[in-house]
Structure 1
Amino acid sequence: MAIRRRPVNGHIVLVAAHLPIRRTPTAEESDKHKAMKERIARAAERHGLAAEVEGRSADGKVRSDVLVTGAGGRRIGWEAQYAPISASTVRRRSQAAAGAGVVPLWVTNSDRAALIDRAPWVRVDDFTWKEIASPRTMLVRAGVRHLQRWKCLRTSERPCPETGSSCGRFHAQWMLPALCLPPKPHTDVDRLVVASADGEYLPMRIPNQHDPHSCSRMRVPSGDRDQWLEIVGPGQEPEPPAAEAEDELTFTEQDLDPTCRYGDETFAFNDTRPRRGHAVGTGLHTFDDVPPRLFVIPDLPQHLDVTAAQRWAAAATQSCKPWEVGPCAGCGAPIHRYGAGSRHACESCRTQVNARYR
């Protein structure tokens, strides 16, 4: 038996409910929980990281299932959550960990878990404890996203997320790896353990576009996070949303119904948890022009001071039409600047830029 809040005639009241048994009640850890903790600790130690099962923070007040410490002192508190848990408990424990200098990271096997988007999280497949403990690859199915940027044209592979056709503007949005263009490989749990401790994957919080009181939480590559902050502008990292307000509880002062209807044939289910993990893109940001701060090669004025003969000679060298010749954005030399197969900069300037990122 349990007591649950339920809307009745427009009011939130307390009702008795028989919850369906989803797992065998036990005071001890489940085999899946123990196997996941062992896998996380094994992956960290195999790559030279310090891992402490049931590790505590420096003040001893916060305990994580597995506390992984990276080379730079970054501490990730992994929480393997296979049992039901309330949203308030997730928030309380996550805030306590963050206050102690530990970055919480919850892992679940259910897309209906209350921890989704209420704390840093990832979702994995529902493997048996033997499969979790084995060397089998365990992919992260949700909770890790990549930044996608594109110009919304009729020839774009993606439809416009705002109009459904094409708007001619620029869009940036966070997508699951399989929905990226081209698709990106899924991150497996073992790699995420190391990448999170090394700072390669960072937590990201994006306010919900339709509900200012909620947000989407995810792990993203550090490079994508830097690009996002450059797109939205310096100092525009979203602030934490306001706490979700709870519905006001109404006491009807009616007599309790002492009749137990457990086992009655009915199509009403007490546990109707909604799916919280969705595959749609999140954090849509639309802008008219590419911000100049995103240009690796500065955009020079669109002017090429050459004679007609020089333009024809450049067109023959670049294998393009004379009217497709324009100035290189880096050095101003005549290049194939416009039309199909054009470039923003010459080969020399692009080689110098690429050398900086190797």
Structure 2
Amino acid sequence: MANKVHHLTTNIHVDLIKLARGDAREAVKFDILYEIGQQDAANGVLVADRGLLCDGDCKENNVVAWMYLRKKSNGRREAVHERREDERRHTAPMSDEHKAYQARVARVATTEGWSADTEFRTPTGRTWIKTDVLVQGAGGLRIGWEIQLSATESDGLRSVRARAQKAAAHGITPAWHTDRASYANRHDTQWTRSDNLPADVIEKAGELRVISGYRALETWRCDARAVYPCVDGGWGSCWKYHTTPRPLGILFDDLVRKTASGLIVPVEHKVGRDIHRFWVTDTDRERYYDILSGALPAMDAEEKPAAHASSNAPTCRPQMTLVPSQRNPDWSDSERWAREMRACRTCGLYANLRDLQVNPFCELCQEEHQLT
């Protein structure tokens, strides 16, 4: 149950904590909004269109959570969220694993000489940004760590992009970490992921690996010798520079240190009309932005091959030796290679590889996601 509500049309605020203590003024305001809600319900107006918002924890987390009011048979007045996930935001306790991640981020940051505050609130006018751990890094960098673990249902996190944008607008670099693949595959912010581990393993000072969300950007020239197809969609060569992401592993502690020092930075990598968000080194990002801005020019006319040379991709491809495992298909099997290049089911890059369901699946993605 919410402790505060706000009706947008009438601009009436009701404090249900004061109401429970017998505040007559809050009771009058509640009854006014209750009658409005009953009339809307009789007219078939949906809850999301009645204009009653949670003014408590949901608002603090920048979540738009619609509500309705009800009176129970014993006379108790209540405000109810439309969605269960919003309701649980007021009641779900923080898990031990969540606390362990907070403690680990804070410990690593303070060991490096930076400050780290847990459950920190940054004022933003009339509201604020609530961060699981705010790390004050080198050169005024502020990294806002958000820990999102398996306890939350897969249909949650409707406002991740909005929260990340708000944090960035106020000088906080958002860093979202999870142990759930369904979140890590999203591109609403720069997600990183580790395995699902118990709290004592997370908190202790052993190795904690990040298995996705950190990549290298390979820079290559789109000429006749290029292994990758032209990212602009053509079948020939455009003679420009392109970048292709390649998954890398990193230890969680190193990620905390290097994001705070500015050595690892967020990037938005364009693939057609889609934008993929992940972490790279500052050198890779600078080079990528140089390519986008045209600082790395196309090949000069003098460098291009003779007119009689073919601009098609080479017919002899490098032999890929991939070790099969219990979780991965044998990618070196000829049945997993198709002559026709099609867009990867995950990242959109063109690939000859196929998964067990004969769907296009590039080598980069199968290495990163370890899917069968």
TM-score for both structures, normalised by structure 1? 0.51
RMSD: 3.6
Q: 1:215 to 1:165 in 2, by over 3 A?
A: closer
Which of 77, 80, 90 aligns to 2:147? It is: 80
Aligned residue in 2 for 1:106: 176
SS of the residue corresponding to residue 102 of structure 2 reads: helix
Aligned residue in 1 for 2:254: 191
**1:165-211, Cα deviation, whole Å (9 max, x unpaired):** 99594553242345xxxxxxx221111111111111111112331xx
Aligned residue in 2 for 1:55: 120
For 2:276, give the aligned amino acid.
S
Aligned residue in 1 for 2:73: none
In 1, Cα distance between the equivalents of 2:209 and 2:348? Answer: 19
SS of the residue corresponding to residue 55 of structure 1 reads: strand
Paired residues for 1:32-71 under 5 Å: 32-59=97-124, 61-71=128-138
SS of the residue corresponding to residue 143 of structure 1 reads: coil
Which of 85, 96, 105 aligns to 1:31? It is: 96
In 2, Cα distance between the equivalents of 1:42 and 1:92? Answer: 28
Which of 241, 263, 280 aligns to 1:200? It is: 263
In 1, Cα distance between the equivalents of 2:132 and 2:97? Answer: 13
Q: CA deviation at 1:62?
A: 0.8
In 1, Cα distance between the equivalents of 2:193 and 2:269? Answer: 18
For 2:252, give the aligned amino acid.
V
For 2:105, give the aligned amino acid.
I
For 1:55, give the aligned amino acid.
F
Which of 270, 283, 289 aligns to 1:223? It is: 283
Q: In the alignment, is the contact (CA less than 8 A) between 1:176 and 1:281 conserved in 2? A: no
Q: 1:166 to 1:150 in 2, by over 3 A?
A: farther
Aligned residue in 1 for 2:305: none
**1:101-128, Cα deviation, whole Å (9 max, x unpaired):** 2111100111212782101221111122
In 2, Cα distance between the equivalents of 1:233 and 1:150? Answer: 16
Which of 183, 206, 215 aligns to 1:145? It is: 215
In 1, Cα distance between the equivalents of 2:349 and 2:97? Answer: 31
In 1, Cα distance between the equivalents of 2:103 and 2:350? Answer: 34
Aligned residue in 2 for 1:122: 192
Greater relative CO (CA pairs within 8 A, separation 6+)? 1
Paired residues for 1:155-304 under 5 Å: 158-160=227-229, 169=239, 172-178=242-248, 186-209=249-272, 212=273, 214-233=274-293
For 1:113, give the aligned amino acid.
Y
For 1:144, give the aligned amino acid.
Y
Q: CA deviation at 1:220?
A: 1.1
In 2, Cα distance between the equivalents of 1:115 and 1:88? Answer: 15
Q: 1:47 to 1:150 in 2, by over 3 A?
A: same
Aligned residue in 1 for 2:13: none
In 2, Cα distance between the equivalents of 1:282 and 1:145? Answer: 15
Q: CA deviation at 1:136?
A: 2.0
Higher helix content, 1 or 2: 2
Q: CA deviation at 1:161?
A: 6.2
For 2:288, give the aligned amino acid.
W
For 1:78, give the aligned amino acid.
W
Q: In the alignment, is the contact (CA less than 8 A) between 1:147 and 1:172 conserved in 2? A: no
Higher strand content, 1 or 2: 2
Matched, 1:89 2:154: no
Q: 1:282 to 1:79 in 2, by over 3 A?
A: farther
Q: CA deviation at 1:50?
A: 0.7
**1:31-63, Cα deviation, whole Å (9 max, x unpaired):** 111111111111111111111111121547111
Q: In the alignment, is the contact (CA less than 8 A) between 1:87 and 1:115 conserved in 2? A: no
For 1:105, give the aligned amino acid.
A
SS of the residue corresponding to residue 116 of structure 2 reads: strand
SS of the residue corresponding to residue 211 of structure 2 reads: strand
Structure 2 gap ranges (5+): 1-83, 85-89, 297-344, 352-372
In 2, Cα distance between the equivalents of 1:176 and 1:170? Answer: 19
Structure 1 gap ranges (5+): 1-18, 20-24, 179-185, 237-277, 285-358
SS of the residue corresponding to residue 219 of structure 2 reads: strand
Q: 1:54 to 1:280 in 2, by over 3 A?
A: same
**1:3-52, Cα deviation, whole Å (9 max, x unpaired):** xxxxxxxxxxxxxxxx9xxxxx9721111111111111111111111111
TM-score for both structures, normalised by structure 2? 0.49
**1:274-318, Cα deviation, whole Å (9 max, x unpaired):** xxxx8758699xxxxxxxxxxxxxxxxxxxxxxxxxxxxxxxxxx
Q: 1:80 to 1:230 in 2, by over 3 A?
A: same
In 2, Cα distance between the equivalents of 1:115 and 1:159? Answer: 23
SS of the residue corresponding to residue 267 of structure 2 reads: strand
